[in-house]
Amino acid sequence: MTMNRPFSAPPIPESAAAFAPFPASPETGLALYAGAIDASDYVPRVAPVLRRLAPHVGDLLDVGAGGGQLGGALRVPGRGWMAVEPSRVMQARLAMLPAPPVIVPARWEEAGDRVAPADTVLAATMPGYFGDAAAFLAWCRRYARRRVIWLTPAQHGPRGLVLAACLPREWHREDETPGIDLVLPQLGDDRPDHLETVDWTFSLVTTDLPQLASWMADRLGWSAGDSRRADIFEHLAAQAIATPEGMRLSCSRRSAVLIWNL
């Protein structure tokens, strides 16, 4: 989203072509999500809770590290920080950090002997615990010396498409069951030693709202001629708040912090 706009509410495009599909790489959603985490209060709200609950992080293994925002806030200077991250977009972001982690460019299932044990294993918003939580927890324990920390979505609402919570349910059609309610039953009696929730606000700032609306319509599977393409722009524009950086869209989030002490 690179086109600059003045500090004002977005005008409604006159041409339906403004809502036509545009080419987007498979990782566009990841890049948008990472930028939104930068603009959100996720790290300022979540990191202090983790520091309170796990004050001695030591060496950190960051699984599904994303852009490294949370791991970077928790890492201890002079101690190890290893990031398991399969996305090339996220790997590039991690490599550009002032003190980057050691990057393992793989999915957790494929990382194998490239992963080194650490005092703390962190997995924030990982698909691994939705697919097979017990297997993923066993993998995390294999590399943790002191503790395993997971952060899972806990809000009632969609958790897939970026900004799906800003859309009507009949548009996004996602399962709105809190993620934590899907994870815990998979673990049986292997419950965490500590579970706590943290509320925060997911915010995305864009300088091209029509393009963002078009990308979301693409992800929803709407055809180029679907009349809802104009509707989604108007729906987002009604919620957007003008800032000097662009138009800000926000939705409430809740994360569950799960900690297993070893």
Give strand pairing partners of 195. Answer: 258
pLDDT score, position 27 = 57
Q: Which tens digits make up the pLDDT trace of 98-124? A: 999 999 999 999 998 999 999 999 999
Q: Specify the CATH superfamily of domain 28-201+249-261.
A: Vaccinia Virus protein VP39 (3.40.50.150)
| 55 and 74 Cβ atoms separated by less than 8 Å | no
pLDDT of residue 128: 77
Assign 10 to helix, strand or coil. coil
The predicted pLDDT at position 31 comes to 85
Which tops the pLDDT comparison, 131 or 43? 43
Count other C-beta atoms under 10 Å from residue 221's C-beta. 8
The pTM assigned to this predicted structure is: 0.87
Rounded Cα distance, 4 and 212, in Å: 14
Burial status of residue 147 (CB atoms within 10 A of its CB: 0-12, 13-18, 19 or more): buried
What is the pLDDT of the chain when averaged over all its residues?
88
Residue 5 has pLDDT above 60, yes or no: no
pLDDT of residue 70 exceeding 60, the answer is yes
Lowest mean pLDDT among 10-14, 119-123, 148-152, 210-214: 10-14
Cα 157 from Cα 155, distance rounded (Å): 6
